Amino acid sequence: MKKKVFFAEELYSKISFNDLIIFAIHSTTNKGKECSFEDLVNECFSLFPRSFSFLKYSQWPDSRKLDRPLRDLRKKGLVKGDPKTFFSLTKKGKKKSLEIVKAFRQIKLL
């Protein structure tokens, strides 16, 4: 069984929602899976539970928190796909995801 990866809230609270979503798509596709909307909600909530949960019921993921950021990411040309199909990173999105991975590594070392 693979070790579950998650980040401390102090680490990810400094990073924008858009960047967290890009990271989650990157993480899902790096596992060799297509990134369905459900998989994306799960990955975002698993990695960043405070940012992607309901305020009142923090043990549950809030998929509404992905709606506007995903539209914004598509408009910026970083993500393609939609909730009915799969999400993937564009060439520009992949470049951005590597910057985010690097930022996580650097913040973690501080």
Q: What is the pLDDT of residues 41-71, one digit of tens each?
A: 999 999 999 999 999 999 999 999 999 999 9
In this structure, is residue 87 part of a structural domain?
yes
CATH, residue 103: 1.10.10.10
Q: What residues does 24 pair with on adjacent strands?
A: none
Task: Quote the pLDDT of residue 5.
Answer: 59
Is position 95 within any domain? yes
Asked, for residue 6, whether it belongs to a domain, the answer is no
Cα–Cα–Cα angle for 100, 62, 30, nearest 5°? 35
Question: 85-110 pLDDT, tens per residue?
Answer: 999 999 999 999 999 988 887 765 44
pLDDT of residue 67: 93
DSSP state at residue 54: -
Beta bridge partners of 35: 87
Domains identified in the chain, total number = 1
Would you say residue 3 lies in a domain? no
